[in-house]
Amino acid sequence: MNQTLQAVIFDLDGVITDTAEYHFQAWKAIAEELNIPFTREFNEHLKGVSRIDSLKLLLGQANPPRAYSAAEMDELADRKNKLYVELIAGITPADLLPGIDVFLSELREAGIKTGIASASKNAPAVLRSLGVTSRFDTVVDVTRLKNNKPDPEIFVTAAASLGVEPGACIGVEDAVSGIDAIKAAGMFAVAIGSGSQFPKADAVLPSTAELNYRELAQRFAETRR
């Protein structure tokens, strides 16, 4: 049965704006404090991963390993977040990634609903700084979720909030865990990045500047016939 595209659901970091550098700087500060090596290559593994799970991955690099109490973990995660919030305070509408403003306008004109499915608890604050809060019909509250990406819960929740079936949605991500979550939700998956990174994606675009409503709607329709 043919299925009509009804919604596009976006990740935030690396898709709407790029705060990856701020995450890197904040995590690096924590790593240096703990004498744990931290590189940009390792930072790639933290994309799309929740704060506490990112911290667990970071602490797993410690040599010799050390056990941390739940209270210590919470304190470290909170400290990282405060550093990150300080760094993103200067975000402005000029920090929207290329093509996003036009793509959002195309979706609005076509009557396509939009949502944000980000693992970041700071997503609402970032959207306000970018001046685009009103351009999204829903922003998933990650504090209410039980599972993190690659579990599909966040994308399924976004679709439900929009009142559409997952199969009628396109998900846009820049992380492998995010693409896995989109596919597990039964959505059409659009990856931003290198094709070799995303073998499971339905479409891979080198940058957000390539996002085009008509082209993606056509490709979506071809997979739903």
CA separation for the pair 135, 212 (Å, rounded):
17
50 is in an annotated binding site: yes
Percent of the chain whose predicted confidence (pLDDT) is above 70: 99
pLDDT of residue 213: 98
Residue 51 is labelled as binding a ligand: yes
Instruction: Estimate to the nearest angstrom the gap between the alpha carbon of 200 and the chain centroid.
Output: 17
11 catalytic per annotation? yes
- pLDDT confidence of 167, banded at 50, 70, 90? very high
| pLDDT surpasses 80 at 2 | no
Mean pLDDT, to the nearest integer, of 157-180?
Answer: 97
Q: 219 labelled as ligand-binding? A: no
Domains 7-17+93-224 and 19-89 share a fold: no
- Pinpoint the alpha helices (H) of 131-224: 153-162, 176-184, 213-223
pTM value? 0.84
Q: 146 labelled as ligand-binding?
A: no
Q: What is the mean pLDDT of the chain?
A: 94
Read off the pLDDT of residues 53-97 as tens digits, 9 standing for 90 and up: 999 999 999 999 989 999 999 999 999 999 999 988 889 999 999
Task: Give me the CATH topology for the region 19-89.
Answer: DNA polymerase; domain 1 (1.10.150)
CATH number of 7-17+93-224, picked from 3.40.718.10, 3.30.460.10, 3.40.50.620, 3.40.50.1000: 3.40.50.1000
Averaged pLDDT for residues 39-49: 88
- Position 40 scores a pLDDT of 93
Indicate whether 1 pLDDT > 60.
no
DSSP codes joined into one string, 82-136: HHHHHHHTT--GGGBPTTHHHHHHHHHHTT-EEEE--S-TTHHHHHHHHT-GGG-
CA atoms within 13 A on the CB side of 201: 24
Contact 193, 204 (CB under 8 A): yes
Domain spans of the chain, in order of start = 7-17+93-224, 19-89
**212 labelled binding-site residue:** no
**N-terminal to C-terminal alpha carbon distance within the chain:** 6
- Region of residue 99 (phi > 0: left; psi between -120 and 50: alpha; otherwise: beta): left
List the catalytic residue out of 11, 78, 95, 101.
11
pLDDT in tens, 99-129: 999 999 999 999 999 999 998 889 999 999 9
